[in-house]
Chains A and B, each alone.
Chain A
Amino acid sequence: MAFNLPSITKRLYKTLANLRTGIVLLILVGIAAALGTIILQRPVTEADQLARTYSPTTLQLLDRLTLTDVFHSWWFLTLLTLLSMSIVFVSVDRFPNAWRFYARPYRKTDSHFRAANPVKVELPIRNASDGINTAERVMMKLGWPVERISDGNQVSLYSERHRFSVMAVYLIHASLLLIFLGGIIDGIFGYSGYLMLQKGQTGNVIETRTGAKKTLPFGVKCYSAGQENYADGSPKKWWSNLAVVENGKEVKKKEIVVNDPLVYRGLRFYQASYGMTGALDALKVVATPEGGAGREVILQMGEPFDLDSNTSVTVAEFIPDFFIRDNQVFKKSDNPENPAFRLQIKNKAGGEDAVQWIFPAYNEASQGQKSNYTFQFRGMQMGYFTGLEVSHEPGQWLVWAGCVLMGFGLFVAFYMVHMRLWVVAIPDAKGKLVLWIGGQANKNKDRFEQKFKDVVEGIRTELESASTTPRSAHKDEPELTLAAAK
């Protein structure tokens, strides 16, 4: 029965529930992640850089081993899954013991425990109930919550602080799983993409990293976008005025900047980039009629502008960087360094239409076919686009919840000490009645020993002031035995 299914599951469980397996997985994840940072990764590297760095055979080998995309490879995800399973199983395996410890505190000491516990003191007393009462009073005064445990005719005291700190480690592991769960949800249901909008444009189709298109359930309109610079010319701020358009209605408006996205129905729109589209937005010219005074007008690209009741002008063509050959205007590049504008002047009164060109680098005045207007270049406004990173991460709240929980868990686990005190009246080795006081802490033992000393000294002084007879046998006084367990 080699393939007995229950036994295989059981063995798998046992292996993963072993802390050693967990540590090995931890190391493997670390090594794999390190590989992923040393070897260039396809999703974040340009193809030609990869080609420059590795020889074709190496690249082929790396690709085949999926080492060029470690973080999305099946084996890395398997490692992460196994690690999560290990965390769960180790926790599950250890939980019952911890829970028993938590739910049923060890309140009553026995002689074996008293002998083995390293932090303990014995104070001589005359009367068991007086001793216990004194101890209770002192402990209450020092802020220890005291429980009276009665066992037949014997009464003992038990006190503890921060018992929940023993469960903190489960909180931390749970929070880690919460973070993983958030990541998995985002990996399955989340998506992200890029949306490029020009001024006045509304868009609802984003392009994902793989180049696929995805349609959003609502549109986003860009009213305006811009950049502010520092005095030295480096960018200080990028902003976009956005509105959410749903079913033809504007439902939300916001100006976003780099660290402050627009959020609507779980989708986030981040300011990611900003730049020129290469197209003209507006042209500012002074239009002068024949024999008249000029006036400044702003011409929108492609929109006719009425100069008077008979004449209208349109910016018909914009060439960002021109050159002339055979008396024709051609485009050299997309940089708006040497622009040319073609103006179409229409005469509605039956006159002839005219075409004029403006080449601001050479002459501010327009030239070309004769018309009853001339134009002087005054300035131009390039069209800008704003690049929005769009992401949908339904699992991120789990991640943040996990982070907060982990912070809390770590605080409790590292800085809250589970401290316990036991007080019982028993006869000592010589048969004299003593008050046995013992204590335990799960961490930060030296600090606890100080606290323990405070309690013991408090009880000792109370006991001494209560007894009317002066102390006689000085050497009978017990020593603090605080030797830490080696």
Chain B
Amino acid sequence: MSTRARVVQMETPAATGGNALLILVGLGVAFLLITALLGAAKTGGPLFNESNLLYVALIFYAGAGALYMGFGVTGVSKYVKVASIATAIGFTANTLAVAHRWYMAGRPPFASIYEMLLSFVWTVAALTLVTEKKLGVKIIGSITMPLAVVCVILMQLLPSEVRPLVPALQSTWLHVHVTLAMLSYAACAVSFALALMFLIKDHFPTETFLALTSGLVSAIYIAIVATRFEKWGGLSVTAWDAKDKSDMFLGRGVRLFVTVPDLGWLFVMAGLAALVPLGFYFIARVQKNESFIGIANKAIFIGVLLQVIVLAAFVLRARDASYASPFQEGLYPTSLAASPFILGGLICGVFASLLYLMLLWRRTDLEALLPSAETLDRVTYKTICVAFPLLTGMIAAGAYWANRTWGSYWSWDPKETWAAITWLVYAGYLHMRVTRGWRGRRAAYFAILGFGIVIFTFLGVTYLLPGLHAYA
């Protein structure tokens, strides 16, 4: 009952404040569009090319994300209407970008990690619209749109020129394989978002979300610091060859790193700040004293500020500057394009923390906006029922293609193996659900774990584990 009361309360101030966000986002979108237009007019290049279209998509996705999150916070239903229009416009621009690239390359855009992200974002946007319109989960955009924005930003940094297909990739089975992969991965992403919403609706304790957010963010920073921290507090980034648009190499497969001085300490600090809430959470658990949770929440807030500072410092210092390398004499340039995954990790951290703050401050309203926990649970299951056959088809098509190209359908290459592990996780989920009647939380954990493994298979394996899947 209290939930209902709060909603009523919330809607009165929102009615006046409601237009403010709309105007703000509208102005922001208009401003960015006009600057982009002026920029394009100045250079005199063609207006409707892929990168411009993608930029338009990025602007509208970002606007939609802001509005979806605004809806999550205030519950003004107007926001969702405008947000889904923005999503639809972004989606149209995205579709045109895909079409343009397809036309220019004369083949479907599935050949590099850039092109796969392009298709992935497209599918995520499409599924967001479908989930919102057909299944009535209106708030899903507040998770999937930031995801789309992170992907599009990553794409701006990845080498994007149309490369001709090397012989092994000239196969119809490649298109089948990658289409199925993108469809199933996007379905997994949606099931992940739905599972998170289920947990919110299911009164999953806010402080556990706190611990998870803090854990995720500190894991990102620990991973970066562990691999990139240099002596005297520097941070290693890959050197970037602006002319060739590629990383610089010392030898075959050995990248040349340069050290950005002092940045390492900043990362260590932000990482520690991200760990603090987790620490307070454990103290609160051990001492059974809830007041520590309050401190932890304040610490998260400070952590977000620090993360934003780190992000800004990283963008400023690792963008188009030259630094010394510990491996070879001389100064070498670097660029944001050389470290897309550090940047991606940082942005993910900020988004995760912001989503947590949104949850912390507006939980009751959020819950009131979501469909019933039962519906969310069922829809999550249905999404996985879509994802799983697609995943199976993807593996089978990939095996068939490998057999035509290398003469063996299964060679335990890391990407293959991790695709199989993803398959096993979802197979486990389905078995537990159908035969053991797993519903609710346990099923949601499984859906979240499944998506984590999908992300690892998609991006982690490509960059961390060596193998045959050299293309993407």
Contacts and interface: CB of A to CB of B under 8 A. Distances in A.
A, B assembled together: yes
Interface of A: 19, 22-23, 26-27, 29-30, 33-34, 36-38, 41, 44, 71, 183, 192, 230, 232, 234-238, 257-261, 268, 270-272, 389-391, 393, 396, 399-400, 403, 406-407, 410-411, 414, 446
Contact of A26 (B165, B427, B461): B427
Majority-rule SS of B interface residues: helix
Interface of B: 163-168, 170-171, 173, 378, 385, 388-389, 392-393, 396, 399-401, 403-414, 417-418, 420-421, 424-425, 427-428, 431-432, 435-436, 461, 465, 467
B168 A259 contact: yes
Contacts of A234: 163-164, 166
A410 B431 contact: no
Contacts of B406: 270, 272, 389
B400 A259 contact: no
A71 B400 contact: no
Given A22-B431, A27-B428, A407 B167 contact: no
A407 B407 CA distance: 23
Given A407-B393, A407-B396, A389 B407 contact: yes
A34 B404 contact: no
A60 B356 CA distance: 47
B404 A261 contact: yes
A188 to B, nearest CB: 15
A16 B471 CA distance: 41
A237 B170 CA distance: 9
A390 B427 CA distance: 34
Contacts of A235: 166-167
B170 A258 contact: yes
Contacts of B465: 37-38
Contact of B409 (A23, A27, A393, A406): A393
A37 B405 contact: no
Contacts of B408: 192, 391, 393
A192 B407 contact: yes
Contacts of B167: 235-238, 257-259, 271
A231 B293 CA distance: 63
Given A23-B431, A26-B428, A407-B392, A36 B168 contact: no
A29 B421 CA distance: 8
A37 B417 CA distance: 7
Contact of A261 (B388, B407, B413): B407
Nearest to B393: A407
Nearest to B384: A414
10 contacts: A19-B436, A36-B412, A36-B417, A37-B467, A44-B413, A259-B170, A393-B403, A403-B396, A406-B392, A446-B378
A291 to B, nearest CB: 52
Given A270-B407, A391-B407, A396-B403, A410 B392 contact: yes
A429 B163 CA distance: 76
Given A234-B164, A259-B171, A399-B409, A34 B417 contact: yes
Nearest to A31: B421
Contacts of A232: 164
A30 B425 contact: yes
Contacts of B399: 399, 403
Kindly list the 10 A-B residue pairs having the minimum CB-CB distance in the complex, ordered from nearest: A258-B167, A37-B414, A391-B407, A403-B396, A410-B389, A71-B412, A259-B171, A230-B164, A389-B407, A270-B407
A111 to B, nearest CB: 27
A232 B164 CA distance: 9
A30 B405 contact: no
Contacts of B461: 37
Contacts of B404: 259-261, 270
B395 to A, nearest CB: 9
A36 B404 CA distance: 25
Nearest to A414: B385
**Residue of A22, A27, A237, A403 with most chain B CB atoms under a 10 A cut-off:** A403
Contacts of B163: 234
B424 A30 contact: yes
A66 B312 CA distance: 47
A134 B380 CA distance: 40
A236 B407 contact: no
Contacts of A410: 388-389, 392
Contacts of B432: 23
Given A393-B409, A407-B389, A30 B166 contact: no
Contacts of A414: 385, 388-389
A26 B422 CA distance: 11
B382 to A, nearest CB: 8
Contacts of B414: 37
B421 A34 contact: yes
A152 to B, nearest CB: 38
B407 A268 contact: yes
B424 A270 contact: no
Nearest to A260: B404
A259 B405 contact: yes
B245 to A, nearest CB: 13
Contact of B400 (A44, A268, A400): A400
Contacts of B166: 234-235
A30 B421 contact: yes
Given A237-B167, A390-B407, 8 more contacts: A23-B432, A27-B428, A30-B424, A34-B421, A192-B407, A232-B164, A259-B168, A407-B396
A392 to B, nearest CB: 10
Contacts of B401: 259
A156 to B, nearest CB: 30
A414 B426 CA distance: 14
A239 B427 CA distance: 41
Nearest to A38: B465
Nearest to A411: B389
B29 to A, nearest CB: 38
Nearest to A237: B167
Contact of B428 (A23, A41, A259): A23
A415 to B, nearest CB: 8
B376 to A, nearest CB: 14
Nearest to A269: B407
A396 B411 CA distance: 13
Nearest to B432: A23
B191 to A, nearest CB: 14
A446 B267 CA distance: 50
